[in-house]
A = this chain, B = another copy of it.
Amino acid sequence: MTATSIAEVPLTRRDIPPMIVGNDCGECATRRICIWSHLDPPNHDRLDGLGRVTRKVHAGEAIFRAGDAFRNLYVARAGSSKTVFMREDGRHQITGFQLAGEFLGLDAIASGVHQTDAIALENSVVCALPYAELERLADSLREVRDYLNQAMSEEITREAGLLMLMGNLSAEERVAAFLVNLSDRYAMRGYSPLEFNLRMNREEIGCYLGMKLETVSRMLARLHERGLIDLQARQIRIRDLHGLRAA
């Protein structure tokens, strides 16, 4: 079977059945990258036993909103989402895009209140892990503790990298770095690192990278002129990953 992938075949509205298939982690498509795989098999049921709920979210819908009480950590199961940080004056910043297996809501642990909106970019499925119960599980399972600590620490490093990008790179370099990052993450999930569909529009990319949508468009065009990528609309084909990495 060819790599028909979640990345390439977006869920459409009718693809999400009313009853989510397999609430069992052993059957989840993300099990290889999810916390599940970091537990010894004997402990797998304990995660399943958690009051875990699978939720489907349609494109544009919120998984949670800034100001919501923090009850669950979420793990993306299928689809993708964005995390948006808001200001009273309406200006906003996308702080990340999440793919399958990645956490949502880690920033809410400190205050007990979500600091960001998490919005599905396409029809998606998320796994809601009740934090109170997860903590109780962490009390007795060091692996769970370690996994959570790692996830948070990684998030800190990820954002530091983004700051670097915002503070130092030109618009063209940022867009290149963005594509390389997506490529790496798709590769890690077994999808093609050279050909994929962007799940977000130009404005969202711009909001993430700190530039205007027109600039994103121009920089993509420039990368194309330089022979590094092909693109039509949201379909990206990387012609020279090495060159793209080099900025």
Which of A91, A138, A160: most chain B Cβ within 10 A? A160
Given B93, B107, B154, which contacts A168 in the complex, CB threshold below 8 Å? B93
CA gap between A145 and B146 in the complex, in Å: 11
Interface string of A1-34 (1 = CB under 8 A from B): 0000000000000000000000000000000000
Let me know if B153 and A85 touch, CB within 8 A: no
Residues of B contacting A208 in the complex (Cβ-Cβ under 8 angstroms) = 167
Q: How far, in Å, is A117 (CB) from chain B's closest CB?
A: 12
Q: CB distance B163 to A95 under 8 Å?
A: yes
Shortest distance between the CB of A211 and any CB in chain B (Å): 8
Q: Are B167 and A93 in contact (CB under 8 A)?
A: yes
State how many angstroms separate the Cβ of A201 from the closest Cβ of chain B: 17
Determine the chain B residues whose CB is within 8 A of the CB of A160 once the complex forms. 85, 93, 95, 107, 115-116, 159
Collect the chain B residues with CB atoms within 8 Å of residue A139's CB: 142
Q: Which residue of B lies closest to A95 (CB)?
A: B160
Q: A148 touches which one: B92, B149, B154, B159 (CB < 8 A)?
A: B149
A230 to B159, CA, bound (A): 33
How far, in whole Å, are A152 and B148 apart by their CA atoms in the complex?
A: 10
Q: Mark A98-109, 1 if CB is under 8 A from B, else 0.
A: 000000001111
Contacts of A116 in B (CB 8 A): 160
Q: Which of A58-82 contact B (CB under 8 A)?
A: none
CB within 8 Å for A87 and B157 given contacts A138-B145, A152-B149, A152-B152: no
Can you offer 13 A-B residue contacts whose CB atoms are under 8 A? A87-B164, A91-B164, A92-B164, A93-B160, A93-B163, A93-B167, A93-B168, A106-B156, A109-B150, A115-B157, A152-B153, A159-B163, A167-B208
